[in-house]
Every structure is written in structure tokens, then in C-alpha cells.
């Protein structure tokens, strides 16, 4: 019955359907169900308008005027990204998720949600944030506010907007505050907190996540301020058949002096005020779930350790460039930069 406001029986009249459509604030579409609660079609005000122009009456059952070849997502599919991309091209914004018997499981509004990625996420929130003291003496860094929200909440809300439903947060320093913070769901998604018994690095604490639901795992620092496109990140990862993808940010070093081009002692020439372009680790990773088995038990182990080990094993480790916003809130200057940026953001 939780979908009652957006569903109508195929035996209900057009007038009944119009009354329900009138009460819908955002998504002007109804899903038509039969006596077995199976979805058999969709209905919009446009469908009704066209039916009335063809001679239908307000008493006509909606089963006679519904759109029977409606678009939907199926629980039997693990990856909906290609289907959702096609729906967007067809300008379809409201889509039901159905089980194998066509029962309604969920309704997605693609105007409010980017996509539905088959990814589990683990956010690292166990650090002490020592460079931000005294702000972090009594408050864990992930809970410091950026605008009207905690840093970590901004990251979780963005993950939820890309359809992630299985999110864990590893905690250590001032862990009770984070555990209390996540008692309530974030935008309908329950966030699980995982206690790290001791400092085990950016990858070591993953071993304490009891269950993963997807084959791709996103691991990230919880104190980042970023607008990374997680869908593009995931598609790039899949298209390259990678074992691990490391998000990277451009980093430029400008030398304000003339640099000697040397061959041993011999001066070959001068390079005037050169600029060198690099990519820096952004602290966001996509990893095949099976590779988490390589993480040693009860040992300090960073993401860079995993990268080195996978490269030694000849696994495919690729770079994904971030072209938008990325701020590592690790010191007062970067924290202020993030707060200033939020002040000028829309929405």
C-alpha cells in the first residue's frame, strides 16, 4: 500500500485516475495494477487527454486507455545504467522497479536521481583530523559543517543521488558521535557504521564490513568535497575492464626560476620557468570486490599498498581524471575554501 498514491487499478475509472494525478506534486504518472498487484501499464494526463479526444468517457476503465508498453526496470538485472541512459534519451523521468512477477518494488524519479549504480560504498571516517585542531578536539572531522551540512553528509547524499543503497562508514576517533549521527537514515538510506579496532589505514578497515551486495566497491575518504560524476567513473571502470580505478586530480607545479638541463656535469641548456603537470591521488577508488581478499588481516594497509600489490600482480589499475571540484579538507585553509565555495553554490 506504500505506492497507493501513485497506483490505480485497471478497473478504476478515468475520473478516479484524474483525482489521483491531481494530488501528485512531482511525478505526473500513475502505474496501473491488476487484482494481483501486477503492474500492467502506465497512465499520464496526456494518455487521458488523448483518450477523451477519441471518445472515451470519464467512467471508462483506465485499463482501456493506459499505456501497456511502459518502460520499467527489473530486479533480475544487476546493472541498470544502460537502461537508464536510454530512458533519459527517451525523456522518461519516472520509472518503476519491478520484481520478476511484475510487482512494484520501488519508483524512481530520474529528475531527482542521476542513475542507479550497482556499487557498495565504504567511507573512511576514523582519522583524528589533527591538522584541523582545535576544531577536531571534540568533533570528528567528517562531522564538521560545510554550509548547513556535515562534510560526510554531503558525500553520502551525493552517493545516494547516484542510486547507492549500501553504504558503510568506518569509525575510530570519537566513534560514538558518528554512530549516533547515523542512527537516522540519510535520504532514506541506512548508513552502517563499522568500528575499526585500531588504526589500519585506508584499506585495512574494510575487512570489518560484514557483507557486500555488489561486485564493485567504492572506497573513499569521508572528508572530501567533490562533485565527481560517479556514473562516469563507474562506466569508465567497466569499459576498461579494470580491476581498480584511482580517481585523480590535476596538479601543476610552476618553477619560478630558470632550470638547468644537465647531462652529468655538462650544461645542455636552460629551461626558463618550466611548468610540470601531474595527477594526484584524489582518495576515491573503485575496486572489484574479489580483490579485497588481498587486503591483509589485522595489519596497517593503505590504498597505495593495494595499488602497488595489484600492479605487481599484473592487475589492471587505471586512472580516472576528475575535471570538476575536488577539495581535500585536511587543513584550515582548505576547509575555509570549501565553506566559501558552498556559500556560492545553487541548490
Q: Rounded to two decimals, what is the model's pTM?
A: 0.83
- Are 37 and 87 in contact, with CB atoms under 8 Å apart? no
Residue written as grid cell 512477477: 101
**How far is residue 221's CA from residue 43's CA, in Å, rounded to a whole number?**
44
Q: Is the pLDDT of residue 316 over 90?
A: yes
Contact of 144 with 181, CB cutoff 8 Å: no
pLDDT at 120 over 90: yes
Give the domains, in start order, of the chain with CATH numbers. 4-109 (3.10.580.10), 119-343 (3.90.550.10)
Long-range contacts for 104-113 (Cβ within 8 Å, ≥24 apart)? 104/3, 104/7, 104/31, 104/33, 104/37, 104/39, 105/75, 107/3, 107/6, 107/27, 107/31, 108/73, 108/163, 109/26, 109/27, 110/84, 111/26, 112/26, 112/161, 113/161, 113/162, 113/163
Q: What is the mean pLDDT of residues 200-213?
A: 88
The answer on pLDDT for 346 being more than 60 is no
Examine the pLDDT at 268 and tell me if it is beyond 90: no
Amino acid at each position: 500500500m506504500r505506492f497507493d498514491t501513485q497506483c490505480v487499478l485497471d478497473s478504476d475509472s478515468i475520473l478516479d485516475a484524474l483525482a489521483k494525478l491531481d494530488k501528485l506534486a512531482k511525478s505526473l504518472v500513475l502505474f496501473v495494477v491488476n487484482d494481483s498487484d501486477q503492474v500492467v501499464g502506465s497512465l499520464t494526463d496526456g494518455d487521458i487527454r488523448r483518450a477523451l479526444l477519441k471518445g472515451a468517457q470519464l467512467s471508462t476503465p483506465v485499463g482501456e486507455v493506459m499505456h501497456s508498453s511502459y518502460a520499467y526496470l527489473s530486479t533480475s538485472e544487476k546493472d541498470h545504467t544502460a537502461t537508464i541512459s536510454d530512458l533519459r534519451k527517451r525523456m522518461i523521468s519516472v520509472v518503476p522497479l519491478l520484481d520478476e512477477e511484475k510487482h512494484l518494488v520501488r519508483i524512481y524519479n530520474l529528475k531527482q536521481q542521476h542513475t542507479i549504480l550497482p556499487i557498495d560504498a565504504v567511507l573512511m571516517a576514523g582519522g583524528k583530523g589533527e591538522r584541523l585542531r582545535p576544531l577536531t578536539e571534540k568533533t570528528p572531522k567528517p562531522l564538521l559543517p560545510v554550509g548547513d551540512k556535515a562534510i560526510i553528509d554531503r558525500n553520502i547524499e551525493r552517493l545516494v543521488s547516484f542510486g547507492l543503497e549500501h553504504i558503510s562508514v568506518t569509525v575510530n576517533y570519537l566513534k560514538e558521535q558518528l554512530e549516533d549521527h547515523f542512527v537516522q537514515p540519510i535520504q532514506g538510506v541506512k548508513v552502517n557504521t563499522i568500528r575499526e579496532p585500531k588504526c589500519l589505514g585506508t584499506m585495512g578497515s574494510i575487512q570489518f564490513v560484514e557483507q557486500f551486495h555488489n561486485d564493485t566497491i567504492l572506497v573513499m575518504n569521508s572528508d572530501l568535497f567533490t562533485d565527481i560524476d560517479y556514473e562516469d567513473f563507474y562506466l569508465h571502470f567497466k569499459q576498461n575492464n579494470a580491476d581498480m580505478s584511482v580517481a585523480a586530480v590535476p596538479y601543476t607545479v610552476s618553477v619560478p626560476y630558470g632550470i638547468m638541463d644537465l647531462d652529468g656535469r655538462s650544461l645542455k641548456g636552460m629551461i626558463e620557468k618550466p611548468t610540470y603537470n601531474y595527477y594526484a591521488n584524489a582518495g576515491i577508488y573503485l575496486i572489484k570486490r574479489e580483490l579485497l581478499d588481498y587486503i591483509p588481516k589485522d595489519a596497517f594497509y593503505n590504498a597505495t599498498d593495494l595499488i602497488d600489490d595489484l600492479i605487481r600482480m599484473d592487475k589492471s589499475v587505471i586512472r580516472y581524471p576528475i575535471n570538476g571540484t575536488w577539495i581535500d579538507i585536511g587543513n584550515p585553509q582548505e576547509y575555509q575554501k570549501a565553506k566559501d565555495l558552498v556559500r556560492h553554490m545553487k541548490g
